[in-house]
């Protein structure tokens, strides 16, 4: 970490050696010295002050230190040259001990003082000057260059002390330079001084002891304490059970302590040197006896008998009478047969809630024949009462906890059960034959209501009516401020935690917002149990294993209407379900065995009620604030304060932000650190809001909705941001020049069975837009906080918020804005287009300049309910009220414009631009009315029209005859044949007609806040020979046609890195073909083909939202890039052409492709043919994948979900899946068909199908192994179309790189695989890679350019070519000379030689030649220099002949 205080650095200046800390950057931007800001070990802290008022930099570093398993650290400072070691601070009572103390000169010794001194000396001795003890420019002198921090000067709140006290890390402080900010030119010298010291100090991490702590099964034990005798500073093991313990050479005794295991005997350890750590591993034995302080615990003998109802009643009455000071016996109600459902309360003040004391409950015998829990609780009651006042642990638990124990929730069922019945069902249910653990209200009950009446799951529900036992339990749960609970069962051995169900009723891990807390609670019980922790419950169920002895309920099996989910959803109570043994009703003689196994776990689990955060919430007058909501960070599950203002919030160790919201009070939040195995006290004092603010705040903590001084900025940027923050609920699109926000519980999913409500902002002014945005914020936060009215609205409706662009500043009351007539006309045109492009069941425009409701000329029945909402309250809206001011601009008569477009006009303001305070207060006044309007979405009729065979009649016509004689047409969804329609309460007659069928009238009764389900079957008209099921009668094309391109575009804009769509092809008579990439390009890749119209693209959107949500949570596993090939819309018939699919696969080089088809899996013969054609290595992978797909197919059929048979009949197009071999041979790609299941008459499950199909593919990919990587040049440029060969000889398979140089190949596990790669223009390369059971092995080939020519290295080739060329020239020259000489000899011509000429030498004729060859010999000649003016009669002796010394030669020479 180069800089912990970047703000301070920016304020400082180079060359300032002794800066003034107030002005030159020593402190952070808040003027706080960060090395005085950490919690100090000698200051008194409650747990909240550990982080209270800490600086952001301090908090981040504290979290960093605690979240990482650091062993050694150094904090680098300047201002001196010395190594300083802990402790930095002195105890507060130093003045009492030493009155003359002056903040220095006194050592503060840590338990590891000798280790710290050694570490400081390591650095000092290897520093070039520090070991001298004094440096020029420094005023201080330190012996050996080291000092104890406090002895130098007292520093409270230092970081090195915090490291040592709160983590495993040993840290010292290094002062490196006398000058705090030296000139840059001196830094090289500083580096030379410190280089060796820095490296040597880092090597000190290897001194001492290291190892791993495991249990007898080899499972790592986390959080165990490593104890060194004589050193009062234990360290803890990491998540992986590892530890590192810094020690200097010497003899030590080490042991391990862990509350779940026996203390290990002290082991002698001898450390000889500091170079290599001594490895000491520990194995700890599991124990259920971790802490006892009285021999009486060992003397307790459980009663080895089963107690029937009378015996149990007598026993409870006797114990209550015997121990009246700590017990109270009461009944929560009676069973069906009138038996009391008893509870024995055990606490020091029975019968009353002590403020600040948490309440705990155990519930046994919910299933009457599961009796182990019943007898364990009866023995636990005796155990507690007999040891109260004798054993410190039990006494403390009773005096600090209000414990409620219900031995039997189902006494009637127990009386029917039989001893020795290990796995039967007699007595399991109550006497009404209802399973009580399926009888509680469930969070997904609404999903059952949406199923058709013919669906057996709807009729099999066991929670339509609550049984007497269930009713009294629900009342009991809600009557006490329970914090923690366990429900004791039998039949297995495991701790089971919520959730028990899923929205689609399919087995999968179903997390609560408090998943980590529930896992910790479950693990606590399992670890304390003698055998549960092993995870192997029953000898006769070898296939059942629970890692760590715990399981998520829904991952084990689905339970709808379970009690543990009800506790969590409807109260503060966290409940888990404990399966205490595989024998449901063991013989009495075995009760002692069960008691011995469960005793410690039962006690240990109760103690967990004291782990987390607790406190009181009061107002400024110290009055208790009950019902306040306590939120933790982003956990979407608040708890509520009790009547005394006390609260308890279970949490695992860590740092959290806690906030409190209460109606009528100002919200408050703070941070807190939760320690292991203890509770942190955190109290809140809330400021009471004024009556005006309280009214504005309403009941939902949306700060933006009660802000009276801020105008919401509504534009594409803010709405896109709002959509991203609420991606699981909100979609945003820009429609021409309007903003369109869609809010629902599943945006983008099929919504034809939901009511669509359009809310349009004001045409002029901000009032309408402001109201709508406040309402949108209310819905999103209400959904997160699980407000039931909001959940119900978004389950039944899609709310469309349409915003008209306005200026970003607020005008005056009558301001009509600066829009021109053309701009307003363009907006109205866009609004009309948007309203016509979609079906809206109800549309409301929010205008201004009047107060009231106005309706379109075409009356709808639901308008009656709108009038009632406002008329039956003091809303002040009971018609249309003129605001009294003249309307200067006719454009502001917005109500007329809205009603002309078919919208209801709702005007709440007289001003076009009301004051901000008026905006906030008016919204608050009418918020309840607006929510009531939205709740009308759950009032009316819904259903389906079927033929005699139960198939949907999509072209049927449904109309409703109203009381006044008018008729309303009901919209039928042409995708599913379902219909839904809003209606006020009353009686109606439905008229149903379809071509070829007899018309039918149905009487229906609609009640308030309820959707009446109506399924109508039509009989064939015998007078019509041929029925018609034509799609030509489409009245609303938008009901059926859907083009995903727009949705994909929105996803791309929000997640450009993770989603990209592209055009692939345009097929004649079959529409456009799209490619869709989802995932990062560097991830593994798989192709998925929607063959034909197998799946409507609408189904992809729900999957995409879940995917992006997982990406945000960093929980995408495996990291796979999905490439989809699909049709752009579902309005065209015909499948994808074979050539289109071939080209797409070949271009992308997929290792695997899954072709989603309908009811057409490969036959056994086809599979055999395919497997025989592919290579042996690919064959093994293909066999594995086909086997996994077969299991997934079987699961589909078991779960009874799929597409309608009628739909499948039209969609069967096996297409490319019959060309598997051709695809493999041409591209190396393995293609597998994934067949959808056909379910007669069930169209509702078609949308579910794609989610589970993709889920199965994802699970399949997670279980594959192989190799992936990149092929690049030495310049790191990707090499596309490089060929990779895996294996060798007859066991070989190939792959190619894509356009990014990426490749991957699924392979079965093998010790080693030879991978060869070749690419044109590059040298071949190879590697041997091990394929392991973990993630894909990643490799990178860096290819070198192939410079060879004709197989010869380029340089050698150049040299050879040059030599050859020169040789050719020489030979050619010689040939020329020889030829010329021969011609000369043959012709008798002269041959000439050459010599270097003087510039004055000119040969003008033959006589002046130097020499000539005549008769085979060279003749020398005299050579004269003649000037032009030289006379010919000049005498011979005046001439100057030149003798040229050249030897003569002849032809033979």
The alpha carbon dihedral of 507, 508, 511, 515 has a sign of positive
In this structure, are residues 74 and 174 in contact, taking their beta carbons and an 8 Å threshold?
yes
Taking residues 909-915, report their average pLDDT: 80
Range among 128-132, 235-239, 295-299, 482-486 rated most confident: 482-486
Q: Is the pLDDT of residue 10 over 50?
A: yes
Taking residues 688-696, report their average pLDDT: 51
**How does the average pLDDT of the chain come out, rounded?**
80
C-alpha 168/C-alpha 233 separation (Å) is 9
**Phi, psi angle pair for 183, to nearest 5°:** -65, 150
In angstroms and rounded to an integer, the radius of gyration of the C-alpha atoms of the chain is 44
Range among 15-24, 167-176, 264-273, 1033-1042 rated most confident: 167-176
Q: Which pLDDT does position 798 carry in this prediction?
A: 93
Q: Which pLDDT does position 975 carry in this prediction?
A: 58
26-44 pLDDT, tens digit each:
899 888 999 999 988 776 5
Q: Is the pLDDT of residue 1429 over 70?
A: no
Taking residues 409-413, report their average pLDDT: 96
1323-1343 pLDDT, tens digit each:
888 888 888 777 788 888 888
In this structure, are residues 871 and 932 in contact, taking their beta carbons and an 8 Å threshold?
no
Q: Which pLDDT does position 244 carry in this prediction?
A: 94
Taking residues 840-861, report their average pLDDT: 86
C-alpha 956/C-alpha 972 separation (Å) is 8
Among the listed ranges 712-721, 785-794, 971-980, which one has the minimum average pLDDT value? 971-980
188-230 pLDDT, tens digit each:
999 999 999 999 999 999 999 999 999 888 888 888 899 998 8
Structure tokens at 1432: 């010919």
Residue 733's pLDDT band, with cuts at 50, 70 and 90, is confident
Q: Is the pLDDT of residue 1311 over 70?
A: no
Q: Which pLDDT does position 1305 carry in this prediction?
A: 85
Neighbouring residues of 810: CB distance < 8 A, sequence distance ≥ 6: 711, 766, 913, 916
Q: Can you list the positions of beta strands (E) in 1220-1259?
A: 1230-1236, 1238-1239
Q: Which pLDDT does position 1389 carry in this prediction?
A: 47
In this structure, are residues 651 and 632 in contact, taking their beta carbons and an 8 Å threshold?
yes
1067-1081 pLDDT, tens digit each:
544 456 778 888 887
Taking residues 364-391, report their average pLDDT: 95
Tell me 1020's DSSP state: B
Taking residues 419-439, report their average pLDDT: 91
- Three-class SS of 1359-1426: HHHHHHHHHHHHHHHHHHHHHHHHHHHHHCCCCCCCCCCCCCCCCCCHHHCCEEEECCEEEECCECCC
Taking residues 133-141, report their average pLDDT: 83
Nearest partner of 478 among 579, 615, 602, 361, judged by Cα: 361
In this structure, are residues 559 and 579 in contact, taking their beta carbons and an 8 Å threshold?
no
Q: Which pLDDT does position 767 carry in this prediction?
A: 84
Taking residues 271-285, report their average pLDDT: 87
Neighbouring residues of 1242: CB distance < 8 A, sequence distance ≥ 6: 452, 455, 1201, 1202, 1204
Positions marked active-site:
175, 579
Structure tokens at 104: 């220095």
Q: Which pLDDT does position 122 carry in this prediction?
A: 95
Taking residues 1086-1097, report their average pLDDT: 63
Question: In which element (H, E) is residue 830 found?
Answer: helix 821-837
Q: Which pLDDT does position 1036 carry in this prediction?
A: 34
Residue 1262's pLDDT band, with cuts at 50, 70 and 90, is confident
Residue with tokens 């103390």: 101
862-881 pLDDT, tens digit each:
888 888 887 765 556 654 44
C-alpha 1293/C-alpha 1228 separation (Å) is 8
Taking residues 1021-1049, report their average pLDDT: 47
Q: Which pLDDT does position 1349 carry in this prediction?
A: 72
Range among 628-642, 682-696, 1032-1046 rated most confident: 628-642
Q: Is the pLDDT of residue 1424 over 70?
A: no
Is 359 strand, coil or helix?
Answer: strand
Taking residues 1417-1434, report their average pLDDT: 45
Kindly write down the DSSP assignment for every residue of 698-712, as one continuous string.
TTS--GGGS-TT---
Residue 599's pLDDT band, with cuts at 50, 70 and 90, is very high
Q: How many CB atoms lie within 10 A of CB 357?
A: 22
In Å, the largest CA–CA distance within the chain is 171
704-724 pLDDT, tens digit each:
555 545 677 888 888 888 887
Q: Is the pLDDT of residue 514 over 80?
A: yes
1373-1406 pLDDT, tens digit each:
889 888 888 877 766 544 445 444 544 444 444 4
Residue 1173's pLDDT band, with cuts at 50, 70 and 90, is confident
Q: Which pLDDT does position 98 carry in this prediction?
A: 62
**Phi, psi angle pair for 377, to nearest 5°:** -70, -35
1274-1304 pLDDT, tens digit each:
777 888 889 888 887 667 788 888 888 888 8
Residue with tokens 């948490």: 358
Q: Which pLDDT does position 84 carry in this prediction?
A: 95
Q: Is the pLDDT of residue 436 over 90?
A: yes
Neighbouring residues of 1049: CB distance < 8 A, sequence distance ≥ 6: 1061
Q: Is the pLDDT of residue 1030 over 60?
A: no
Q: Which pLDDT does position 1161 carry in this prediction?
A: 64
Structure tokens at 523: 């693990």
Q: Is the pLDDT of residue 1271 over 70?
A: yes
Q: Which residue has the higher pLDDT, 123 or 851?
A: 123
Structure tokens at 1438: 């005046």
637-661 pLDDT, tens digit each:
999 999 999 999 999 998 899 999 9
């Amino acid at each position: 970490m180069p800089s912990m205080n970047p703000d301070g650095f920016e304020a400082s200046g180079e060359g300032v050696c002794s800066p003034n800390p107030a002005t030159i950057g020593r402190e952070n931007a808040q003027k706080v010295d960060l090395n005085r800001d950490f919690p100090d070990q000698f200051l008194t802290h409650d747990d909240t002050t550990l982080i209270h008022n800490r600086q952001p930099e301090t908090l981040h570093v504290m979290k960093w230190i605690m979240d990482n398993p650091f062993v050694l650290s150094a904090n680098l400072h300047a201002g001196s040259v010395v190594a300083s070691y802990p402790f930095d601070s002195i105890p507060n009572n130093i003045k009492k001990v030493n009155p003359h103390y002056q903040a220095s000169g006194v050592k503060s010794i840590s338990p590891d003082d000798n280790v710290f001194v050694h570490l400081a000396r390591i650095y000092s001795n290897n520093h070039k000057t520090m070991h001298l003890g004094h440096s020029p420019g420094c005023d201080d002198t330190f012996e050996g260059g080291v000092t104890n921090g406090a002895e130098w000067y007292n520093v409270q709140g230092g970081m090195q002390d915090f490291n040592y006290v709160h983590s495993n890390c040993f840290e010292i402080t290094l002062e490196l330079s006398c000058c705090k900010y030296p000139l840059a030119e001196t830094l090289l010298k500083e580096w030379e001084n410190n280089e060796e010291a820095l490296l040597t100090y880092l090597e000190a991490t290897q001194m001492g002891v290291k190892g791993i702590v495991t249990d007898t099964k080899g499972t790592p034990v986390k959080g165990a304490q490593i104890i060194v005798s004589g050193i009062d500073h234990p360290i803890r093991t990491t998540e992986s059970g590892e530890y590192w313990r810094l020690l200097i050479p010497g003899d030590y005794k080490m042991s391990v302590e862990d509350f779940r295991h026996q203390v290990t005997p002290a082991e002698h350890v001898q450390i000889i040197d500091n170079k290599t750590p001594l490895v000491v591993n520990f194995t700890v034995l599991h124990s259920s006896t971790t802490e006892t302080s009285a021999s009486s615990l060992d003397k307790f003998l459980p009663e080895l008998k089963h107690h029937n109802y009378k015996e149990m009643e007598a026993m409870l009455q006797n114990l209550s009478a015997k121990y009246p000071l700590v017990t109270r016996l009461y009944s929560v109600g009676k069973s069906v047969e009138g038996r009391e459902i008893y509870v024995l309360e055990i606490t020091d003040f029975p019968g009353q809630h002590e403020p600040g004391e948490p309440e705990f409950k155990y519930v046994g015998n919910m299933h009457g024949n599961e009796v182990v829990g019943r007898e364990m609780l009866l023995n636990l009651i005796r155990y507690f009462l007999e040891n109260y006042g004798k054993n410190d642990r039990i006494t403390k638990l009773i005096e600090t906890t209000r414990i409620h124990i219900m031995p039997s929730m189902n006494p009637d069922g127990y009386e029917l059960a039989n001893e020795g019945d290990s796995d039967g069902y007699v007595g399991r249910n109550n006497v009404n034959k209802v399973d009580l653990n399926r009888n509680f209200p469930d969070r997904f009950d609404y999903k059952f209501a949406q199923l058709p009446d013919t669906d057996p799951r709807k009729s099999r529900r066991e929670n339509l009516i609550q049984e007497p036992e269930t009713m009294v339990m629900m009342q009991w749960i809600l009557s006490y401020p329970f914090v923690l609970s366990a429900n004791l069962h039998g039949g297995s051995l495991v701790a089971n935690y919520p959730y028990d169900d899923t929205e689609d009723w399919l087995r999968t891990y179903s997390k609560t917002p408090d998943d980590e807390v529930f896992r910790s609670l479950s693990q606590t019980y399992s670890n304390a149990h003698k055998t549960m922790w092993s995870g192997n419950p029953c000898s006769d169920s070898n296939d059942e294993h629970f890692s760590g002895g715990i399981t998520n309920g829904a991952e084990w099996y689905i339970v709808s209407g379970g009690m543990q989910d009800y506790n969590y959803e409807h109260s503060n109570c966290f409940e888990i379900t404990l399966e205490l043994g595989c024998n449901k009703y063991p013989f009495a003689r075995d009760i002692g065995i069960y008691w011995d196994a469960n005793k410690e776990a039962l006690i240990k689990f109760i103690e967990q009620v004291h782990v987390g955060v607790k406190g009181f919430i009061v107002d400024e007058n110290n009055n208790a604030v009950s019902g306040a909501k306590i939120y933790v960070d982003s956990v979407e599950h608040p708890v509520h304060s009790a009547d005394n203002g006390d609260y308890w919030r279970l949490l695992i160790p860590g740092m959290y932000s806690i906030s409190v919201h209460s109606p009528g009070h100002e919200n408050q939040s703070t941070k807190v650190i939760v320690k292991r195995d203890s509770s942190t006290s955190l109290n809140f004092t809330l400021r009471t809001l004024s009556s005006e603010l309280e009214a504005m705040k309403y009941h939902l903590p949306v700060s933006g909705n009660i802000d009276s001084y801020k105008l919401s900025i509504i534009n594409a940027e803010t709405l896109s941001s709002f959509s991203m923050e609420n991606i699981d609920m909100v979609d945003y699109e820009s429609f021409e020049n309007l903003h369109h926000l869609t809010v629902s519980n599943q945006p983008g999913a099929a919504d034809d069975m939901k009511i669509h409500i359009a809310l349009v902002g004001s045409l002029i002014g901000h009032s309408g837009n402001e109201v709508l945005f406040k309402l949108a914020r209310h819905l999103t936060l209400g959904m997160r906080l699980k407000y039931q009215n909001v959940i119900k609205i978004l389950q039944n409706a899609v709310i469309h918020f349409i915003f008209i662009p306005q200026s970003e500043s607020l005008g005056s009351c009558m301001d009509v804005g600066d829009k021109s007539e053309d701009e307003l006309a363009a907006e109205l045109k866009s609004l009309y287009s948007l309203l016509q492009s979609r079906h809206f069941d109800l549309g409301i425009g929010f205008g201004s300049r009047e107060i009231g409701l106005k309706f379109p000329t075409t009356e709808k029945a639901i308008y009656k309910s709108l009038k009632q909402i406002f008329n039956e309250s003091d809303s002040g809206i009971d018609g249309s009220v003129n605001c009294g001011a003249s309307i200067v601009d006719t454009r502001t008569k917005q109500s007329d414009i809205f009603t002309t477009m078919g919208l209801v006009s709702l005007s709440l303001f007289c001003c076009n631009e009301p004051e901000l305070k008026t905006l906030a207060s008016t919204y608050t006044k009418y918020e309840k009315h607006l929510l009531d309007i939205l709740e009308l979405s759950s009032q009316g009729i819904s259903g389906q029209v079927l033929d005699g065979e139960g198939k949907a009649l999509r072209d049927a016509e449904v109309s409703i005859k109203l009381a006044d004689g008018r008729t309303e047409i009901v919209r039928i969804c042409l995708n599913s044949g379902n219909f839904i329609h809003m209606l006020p309460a009353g009686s109606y007659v439905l008229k149903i007609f379809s071509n070829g069928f007899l018309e039918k009238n149905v009487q229906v009764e609609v009640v308030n806040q309820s959707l009446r389900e109506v399924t109508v079957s039509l009989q064939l008209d015998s007078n019509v020979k041929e029925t018609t099921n034509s799609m030509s009668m489409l009245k609303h094309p938008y009901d059926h046609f859907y083009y995903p391109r727009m949705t994909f575009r929105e996803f791309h804009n929000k997640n450009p890195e993770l989603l990209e769509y592209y055009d692939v092809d345009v097929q004649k008579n079959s529409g456009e073909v799209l490619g869709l990439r989802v995932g990062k390009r560097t991830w593994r890749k798989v192709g998925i083909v929607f063959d034909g119209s197998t799946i409507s693209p609408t189904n992809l959107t729900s999957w995409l939202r879940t995917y992006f949500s997982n990406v945000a949570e960093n929980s995408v596993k495996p990291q796979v890039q999905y490439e989809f090939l699909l049709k752009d819309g579902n309005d065209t018939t015909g499948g994808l052409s074979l050539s289109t699919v071939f080209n797409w696969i070949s271009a992308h080089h997929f290792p695997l492709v899954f072709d989603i088809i309908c009811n057409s899996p490969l036959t056994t013969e086809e599979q055999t043919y395919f497997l025989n054609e592919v290579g042996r290595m690919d064959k093994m992978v293909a066999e594995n994948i086909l086997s996994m797909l077969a299991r997934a197919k079987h699961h589909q059929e078991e779960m009874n979900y799929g597409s309608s048979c009628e739909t499948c009949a039209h969609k069967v197009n096996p297409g490319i899946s019959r060309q598997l071999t051709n695809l493999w041979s041409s591209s190396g790609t393995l293609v597998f068909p994934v067949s959808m299941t056909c379910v007669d008459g069930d169209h509702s499950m078609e949308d579910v199908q794609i989610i589970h199909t993709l889920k199965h593919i994802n699970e399949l990919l997670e279980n594959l192994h192989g190799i992936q990587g990149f092929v690049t040049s030495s310049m790191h440029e990707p090499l596309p179309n490089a060929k990779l060969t895996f294996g060798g000889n007859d066991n070989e398979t190939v792959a190619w790189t894509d356009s990014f140089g990426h490749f991957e190949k699924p392979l079965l596990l093998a010790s080693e695989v030879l991978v060869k790669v070749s690419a044109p223009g590059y040298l071949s390369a190879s590697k041997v890679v091990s394929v392991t059971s973990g993630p894909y092995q990643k490799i990178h080939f860096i290819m070198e350019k192939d410079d060879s020519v004709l197989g010869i290295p380029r340089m050698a080739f150049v040299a050879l070519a040059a030599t050859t060329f020169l040789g050719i020239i020489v030979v050619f020259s010689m040939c020329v000379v020889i030829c010329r000489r021969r011609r000369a000899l043959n012709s008798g011509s002269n041959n000439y030689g050459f010599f270097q000429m003087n510039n004055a030498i000119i040969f003008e004729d033959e006589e002046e030649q130097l020499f000539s060859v005549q008769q085979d010999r060279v003749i020398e000649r005299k050579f004269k220099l003649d000037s032009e003016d030289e006379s010919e009669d000049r005498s011979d002796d005046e001439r100057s002949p030149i003798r040229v010394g050249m030897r003569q030669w002849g032809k033979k020479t």
